[in-house]
Amino acid sequence: MQYLIEVNFRSGASKEDNRAAAQMVRERLEKPRSGITVKAAVADLGGGRLFFLADYTEQAASDIRNFLEFRTLPAVERVDGTPVVDAKTALDVYLSM
């Protein structure tokens, strides 16, 4: 299952908190947890956001620690995860309702 993950950094966080968050995010991009494969990552440095596309196994997707890990960092304001589906398929389902 693919997820689009968005990590939003808190404006006004201390330099130390920002560095700790950036280091953890970099570590997870370079060495993801078991069952997760990072396909792509894009940073919006001016907006304080990071997006990454990742494949999750069923076991990794059900492990809530994978989603909550970043939320414990003071410099991270929000983490959102959205399951990725083919746009045409999603629109076909919507229009058939």
- Which CATH number is 56's domain given? 3.30.70.60
Per-residue pLDDT in tens (0 to 9) along the chain, 97 residues = 888 999 999 999 999 998 998 898 888 889 888 899 999 999 998 889 999 999 988 888 777 666 667 778 899 999 888 888 888 888 898 899 8
Q: What is the pLDDT of residue 41?
A: 93
Q: Which domain holds residue 9?
A: 2-95
List of residues 6+ apart from 4 with CB closer than 8 A = 51, 52, 53, 81, 82, 84
Model-level pTM greater than 0.85? no
- The pLDDT assigned to 49 comes to 93
DSSP state of 35: T
Q: Which residues contact 3 (CB under 8 A, 6 or more apart)?
A: 53, 54, 56, 61, 81, 82, 83, 84
Domains in the chain: how many in total? 1
